[in-house]
Structure 1
Amino acid sequence: MDAYRQSVSRSDPGCVVILLDRSDSMKLPWGRTGATLAEGAALAVNNILLDMCIKATAEVNAPVRHYFDVGVFSYGARLQEPGEGVESAFGGALAGQGLVPLPELAEHPMSVRTEPSIDLMAVSAKMPVWVDPVHGYRTPMCQAIAVVGGHVFDWAAAHPNSFPPIVINITDGMVTDSPFDGVTLADWVKRMTSIETNDGPTLFFNVFLSPAEVAEIVFPSTPAGLPIPGPDLFALSSDLPRPMIENARVDGYDVQAGARGLAFNVGRSTLLKVLQIGTRVPDRPA
């Protein structure tokens, strides 16, 4: 039986974890958008969280249903002392929390404020905000995956029949802590993606942001032609499951067999589309 076919439901919710790079280089401008990488990434994360809440309602103004547990973890915002390199990115009432049920997330944004359009074409609008743009120090990606791996392990053990956890890493830099506790980045990722539910192994996707105005590469099937650190991120990224390949093709991407969950040098609007594809699992039962 094929993996990655389990629908999400209130009895078998899914799990989405976003890893958000908050290293020093996130202060750089994002092309001609007028925003920094940190601002654009935070805007995209808030948009995808809102999108998940909206899609988990049966009708307008109906309660948000518990179709997902969601976490956003940041790394690099503070000097990397033991235990300080990785933390929950949520603010307000959710500050410090790990995985949060979607209804609780919907009820507790840290604010509702006017935010610019993600695609720079529409007018600004009021929207809930769960994470702020932050930039800090180095890029402890290994520690981030180690911390998140613990949450993923516990979640998968508690939800053996669910669609496997999805971890999406949004970064703009090179890892600065490999090896961490004597384990390389590649092996930390192997440990995390070896965690399974009955529907398959944990998925690990990567989104690389760049201040340079260069061509976007979305869901490549080969590392050929990818500039550094593209080949390394390609090797770390999971194969895109068949349902997500179908989603990407519906959204207009020419996705070939063997495509990986990697988006390279993406702009703001593409970042949101990639996040939507990466979190859109098989349709829930009616």
Structure 2
Amino acid sequence: MYSQTFSRQNPGCIIFLVDRSDSMRASWGGSNLTLAQGAAQAINKMLFELCVKSTKVHDAPMYLYFYVGIYGYGLCPRRSGEGVESALPVALADRFIVPLPELADHPLRVQDGGPGARPGLPVWYEPAHGYSTPACAAFEMVGSHVKEWVAAFPSSFPPIVCHMTDGLVTDSPYKDVDLAGWARRLTQISTDHGTTLLLNAFLSPSDATMTLFPDNARGLPAPGPGLFEMSSPLPEPMVHNAAAADIPVGSGARGFVFNADFATLVKFLAVGTQFNVHDETYA
């Protein structure tokens, strides 16, 4: 299981699911960013890295190795209210999971600096925060579109969902199912090579000790234990990614991080999304 490579024949699917509730306005400890700004910068960096990985020849068209989606829950700027919506750039606003080359062609802007920003980096996702935290509804929406993608690409590596939140949930239970139940439904969606993988980044403004890829929930503040249990055990490719990044992981480690700083959040997302691509021309 989880042995399929990423290729044009069998592309991957990477989803970023972002908490945009009011509490994401909190300051990210040790930085001049809010939690919402930190999550946005990490997403844009990961999308850029995927674009680089998918560009085999300079100035040549980008290869379609990945499909991507960005979902936000809480404040929905395009609907002027709260709920769940696609957070892809406005040119793709009526879409949910799109080919990476198409996303690459539609950045919102290019960064010109600012707090923690890297000038020249394309921006596809802007930070937002407001209203409550309808995480269950978000998992339901993501699951419905992941299921559609899996039906179209049953031989691909399973979808990877990267969820960033400050942990609070306001709609559990939703349709008589709690958040853990919606997470189970999502992670039961499978391709021929395994079930959908869920990574949870529990962001915090506190100065508590960071926890990265733990194998148990001891010492985590609420609702950390619940988020840990929802998180997928790391499959072998992610264990290798962690080792390559000098991140020790034990047996039973899960795709979970608590109270990461920006550099650690980027490493966490990279372990979950940075895989080698394989193409018959460049084998």
Tell me the TM-score normalised to structure 2 length: 0.94
Partner of 1:14: 12
Whichever residue aligns with residue 146 of structure 1, its letter is E
| Structure 1 residue ranges without an equivalent (≥5) | none
Q: Give the match for residue 175 of structure 1.
A: 169
Q: 2:273 aligns with which of 254, 271, 279?
A: 279
SS at match of 1:16: strand
Aligned to 1:262: 256
CA distance in 1, matches of 2:113, 2:135: 28
Contact 1:6 1:282 in 2 (8 A): no
Q: Deviations over 1:71-105 (max 9, x none)?
A: 000001149x9x95110112231223200101101
Deviation for aligned residue 1:41: 0.8
Q: Letter of the aligned partner of 2:54 in structure 1?
A: A
SS, match of residue 75 in structure 2: coil
Q: Name 1:28's counterpart in structure 2.
A: 26
Aligned equivalent of 1:46: 44
**The 10-residue stretch of structure 1 (53-62 or 264-273) with the greater mean CA deviation from structure 2:** 53-62
SS in 1 for 2:248: coil
Distance 1:171 1:149, change over 3 A: same
Secondary structure of the 2:15 match is strand
> d(CA) in 2 for partners of 1:21 and 1:50?
21
- The equivalent position to 2:227 in structure 1, one of 223, 233, 239, is 233
SS of equivalent to 1:126: coil
Asked if structure 1 preserves the Cα contact closer than 8 Å seen for 2:7 and 2:277, the reply is no
Q: Contact conserved, 2:213 with 2:249, CA < 8 A, in 1? A: yes
Partner residue, 2:111 = 113
2:93 corresponds in structure 1 to 95
The one-letter code of the counterpart of 1:87 is E
**Correspondent of 1:201 among 181, 192, 195:** 195
Figure out how many residues of one structure are paired with residues of the other and give that number. 278
What amino acid sits opposite 1:130 in the alignment?
A: W
- The structural deviation recorded for 1:184 is 1.2
Given that residues 5 and 282 in structure 1 are in contact (C-alpha distance below 8 angstroms), is that contact kept between their aligned partners in structure 2? no
Is the contact between residue 15 and residue 162 of structure 2 (CA under 8 Å) also seen in structure 1? yes
Partner of 2:53: 55
Matches within 5 A, 1:112-191: 112-116=110-114, 124-191=118-185
Contact 1:98 1:151 in 2 (8 A): yes
In 2, are the aligned partners of 1:139 and 1:173 still within 8 Å (CA)? no
**In 2, are the aligned partners of 1:65 and 1:103 still within 8 Å (CA)?**
yes
CA distance in 1 between counterparts of 2:198 and 2:24 reads 21
Shift of 1:284: 2.2
Question: 1:58 is paired with a residue of what secondary structure?
Answer: coil
What is the CA-CA distance between 1:40 and the residue it aligns to?
1.1
Q: 1:74 aligns with which of 63, 72, 81?
A: 72
Q: Which amino acid aligns with 1:10?
A: R
Tell me, what secondary structure is at the counterpart of 1:71? strand
**8 Å CA contact 1:76, 1:137 repeated in 2:** yes
Q: Counterpart of 2:74 in structure 1: which amino acid?
A: G
| CA shift in 2, pair 1:252/1:93, >3 Å | same
Q: Give the superposed CA RMSD.
A: 1.8
The CA distance in 1 between the partners of 2:111 and 2:65, in whole Å, is: 26
Q: Give the counterpart letter for 2:68 in structure 1.
A: V
Query: Given the two structures, how large is their TM-score scaled by the length of structure 1?
Result: 0.93
Cα deviation, 1:227-246, whole Å, max 9, x if unaligned, reads: 22211111100101011011
1:252 and 2:246 equivalent?
yes
